[in-house]
A and B are shown apart, each in its own frame.
Chain A
Amino acid sequence: MSKLLEARALCAFYGATQVLFGFDLSIEEGGITTLLGANGAGKTTTLRALCGMVRTTGDIRFDGKAIRGRATEDIVRLGIAHVPQGRGTFSRQTVEENLEIGAMTRSGRAAIDADIERVYGYFPRLMERRRQQAGTLSGGEQQMLAVGRAMMLRPRLMLLDEPSFGLAPLIVEELFGILRTLNQTEKVSMLVVEQNAALALDLAEEAYLIETGELVTSGPARQLRDDENIRRAYLGY
């Protein structure tokens, strides 16, 4: 398998404060990779760094192209869809408008309409609420909308920041099932940030564990799951 995204010596800064301290990260084409770590470890910052949303040093390559230092809009247009922490809902716009916004970089009315229907196929509840203001949706529905919006980009890579956050277990199960389907049938590669390590290690093939902006360990998800010391010390289960 080839690497879809590769970051080397990744550092990130908020003003003068350094938050990431130079680690390497790579994402397999077609695979699901998870990035784990405690609250404040730098997971969100890592995703933001990959999308050019914070000041970053190091080298980031997407499909072989150097993307570090490029504008977020341009990185997104290469086919990286970022489902941000907090879901990034356009709360005043309708559900359908949110999906339209997700396809803003594309042209071709028919293909966009077909993709909206495709999203509704995955998330029938969004279809029921298509004319509703997105701010009125429940947390789970908003998370589905965020994933749907990301799908509208027809991305090659999806970055998901704590998609399970604040959702009821049943909804989480449904959502992760759909992520798995998207990965398998639509060939979307994924980097999933999670605090719920058990869940993420179940979904992903590869895993990275970071602590205060530094890499603790990485490897096949199965290996991390089976490592009692890691599990006790970092994953808390």
Chain B
Amino acid sequence: MELFLHQVLAGLATGGIYACMALAVVMIYQAIDHLNFAQGEMAMFSTFIAWQLIQWGLPYWLAFGATIAISFVAGVAIERVVLKPLHNAPVLSHVVAFIALLAILNSAAGFIWDYTIKSFPTPFGNGPLFEQGLMSKHDGGMIAVTLLMLAFLYLFFRHTRIGLAMRAAAANPESARLAGIRVGWMTALGWGMAAAIGSVAGMLIAPVVFLEPNMMLSILLYGFAGAVVGGLTSPGGAVLGGFLVGIVENLAGTYIPVVGREMKLTIALFIIVAVLCVKPSGLFGRPIVTRV
């Protein structure tokens, strides 16, 4: 039982990483109605920017804030420059654009900062959060920040007009236009916010996995898993989904002998497929109630 609880706690710690990424995934899914495969690389690139700022001598929190702002602007710019022209193109064109973006960001980061592993500072400290270890101060801080972002998003989407306009634009673009909403800019805003959230995720994840151009490859997959479990439409569901994936992964690694370390990533894929088969709208996704 003790082992079980420990593993759940450790799962929560890794789950915090996934939850953070899943939040960014859901954000973009809400804005563009599909997944952005380049999201992990965008977060990675943002994290490098933060690292560079810190190298240049900026205090951590200043670099943190500046990175969020830069990422937001870059996210908006990517939408306006790369994706707006594809506006009427089929989904496949978008997928190709995402993959191109992924490759470009990955090699650009490698070119500018090279592929050696860098350590990234944590503002929360490295010591254990509790006596028994398992969850570090950093893990705790990461979970707290994730929950804070979630609260912010909730308030933003539920209680601001611009949040409502974004939801309207995503749910029914044509009808939103007829209400005078500038749908294109709402999408760009969604990209900006997703990039900003992704940058926070990257900066929180980097102290754990170390900073290098490929750091987000597997984490994005876990983020997708968390988001799919959560139903892709609900930020709260995504965070819960992220934690669940972390816990399941840890428990499976402990109790199912064949899983071990190498097979862990398969768990994410397995969870995605399983959830899609059993409950396509996710565990927390609101099924649409329609009457005709």
Contacts and interface: CB of A to CB of B under 8 A. Distances in A.
Chain A bound to chain B? yes
Interface in A26-62: 51, 53
B94 interface: no
B166 to A, nearest CB: 11
A115 to B, nearest CB: 14
A90 B172 contact: yes
A97 B161 CA distance: 10
Contacts of A213: none
Contacts of A100: 161, 164
A53 B165 CA distance: 20
A92 B164 CA distance: 12
A149 interface: yes
A77 B291 contact: no
Interface string A135-152: 111110000000001000
B87 interface: no
B279 interface: no
Interface string A152-190: 010000000000000000000000000000000000000
A82 interface: yes
A93 B292 CA distance: 16
Given A73-B180, A88-B175, A101-B176, A93 B167 contact: yes
B33 interface: no
B181 A73 contact: yes
A53 B174 contact: yes
A133 B287 CA distance: 12
Contact of B168 (A51, A82, A90, A139): A90
Given A88-B172, A101-B165, A73 B177 contact: yes
B188 to A, nearest CB: 14
Interface residues of A, number: 29
B291 A82 contact: no
29 contacts: A53-B174, A72-B177, A72-B178, A73-B180, A73-B182, A76-B177, A76-B178, A81-B178, A88-B172, A88-B178, A89-B172, A91-B171, A92-B167, A92-B171, A93-B164, A100-B161, A100-B164, A101-B168, A101-B176, A104-B161, A104-B164, A104-B180, A104-B181, A105-B179, A135-B288, A135-B291, A136-B290, A136-B291, A153-B179
Interface of B: 161, 164-165, 167-168, 171-172, 174-183, 286, 288-292
Interface of A: 51, 53, 72-73, 76-77, 81-82, 84, 88-93, 97, 100-102, 104-105, 133, 135-139, 149, 153
Nearest 7 pairs between A and B by C-beta?
A88-B175, A105-B180, A76-B180, A72-B177, A135-B290, A101-B168, A82-B178
Given A76-B178, A89-B175, A104-B180, 10 more contacts: A73-B177, A81-B178, A90-B172, A91-B288, A92-B167, A93-B167, A101-B168, A133-B289, A136-B290, A138-B291
